[in-house]
Every structure is written in C-alpha cells, then in structure tokens.
Amino acid sequence: MKSAKTVFGQYLKNRGMLHSKQREEILDIFLKTEKHPTIDALYQLIRKKHPKIGLATVYRSMRVICDAGLAREVDFGDGVKRYEHEYQHQHHDHLVCLKCGRVIEVLSPRIEHLQETLAKKHNFTPIRHRMEIFGTCRECKRKEK
C-alpha cells in the first residue's frame, strides 16, 4: 500500500504541480494529528517549526491535500472548517460533544444501508452523506452530576 506522502507526490507530479517544502511540511503536520483540526490549529502547529509559513499557504495546501484524496473537509456547525484523514480511513459518522468538543468517530453499517435505501426510494442518486449526533459525551455527563 502506497504511503500518503507517495500518493501526494504522484498527485502533484501528474498535475505538473510543484513539490514545495511548505506543502510537504503542512501535509506532515496534518498526518501526525488524528483529530479534526481547524486551519488555524494547523497554522499554530506549523508556525512553531516554520514561522515563515503564512496562513494563506495553509489554506491553499489543505485544499490541494483534499483534492489529492488525503483529507476531507468536515464541519460541526460552529462556523469553522475542519479536516480529517481520508486516505486509508473508511467513511464514518461523528458524535460531537457540545461541552468539551470531543469528537467520536462511529460507523453503523445498518444505518449506511438504510441511507442507501432511503435515497433510492426518492429516486435520488447519493454521492456522499454526513451524519452528526450532537450531545454530551460520557466524561462530561459524569462531571455534570
């Protein structure tokens, strides 16, 4: 199985795009976090090692990384885009804690199947979907008692 970096390198080459240090570094930082970082969170991390890299470059690079199939935009309704891994990570849904912001990734094959059925029933051709359950996670629930 090809590594994410290899995939990225090939994507850039195929498109005649350059393999810059900034892109490499931003991809590196993104790959190291298994969370759902915002652009600004990534920017703060990158900044520590490479204070010269600008915010606009992070925006531009994350778009390229998404286009290459390595990341996917997600949003949890708080007005900021977040990114999660796409390569070698199967589709999943999210449980989002409204107290602490923790995100639990979940998968229910039965729900996935019912979604297909639901779309078909309306003659709707699904391309992608998202499902988020907002609430209180176990830890926050315990604390509030």
User: How far, in Å, CA of 43 to CA of 37, rounded?
Assistant: 10
> Which pair of tokens denotes residue 102?
């923790």
Q: Closer CB to DNA, residue 44 or residue 108?
A: 44
| 16 makes contact with DNA (CB under 7 A) | yes
Contact pick of 11, 59, 76, 87 for DNA (by CB under 7 A):
59
Contact pick of 54, 129, 143, 145 for a copy of itself (by CB under 8 A):
129
Binders of DNA among residues 64 to 103 (CB under 7 A) are: 79-81
Closest distance to a copy of itself from the beta carbon of 79 (Å): 9
b/e burial code for range 10-28 (CB count within 10 A of at least 16 → b): ebbeeeeeeeeebbebbbe
Residue whose structure tokens are 């930082």: 29
Cα–Cα distances in Å, from 82 out to 11, 28, 50, 108, 118? Answer: 22, 16, 21, 22, 28
How many other CB atoms are found less than 10 A from the CB of residue 37?
20
> Which pair of tokens denotes residue 91?
């589709």
| 63 makes contact with a copy of itself (CB under 8 A) | no
Contact pick of 18, 54, 75, 100 for a copy of itself (by CB under 8 A):
75
| 51 makes contact with a copy of itself (CB under 8 A) | no
**Site of interaction with a copy of itself (CB under 8 A):** 75, 77, 93, 95, 97-98, 104, 106, 108, 110-111, 114-115, 118-119, 122-138, 141
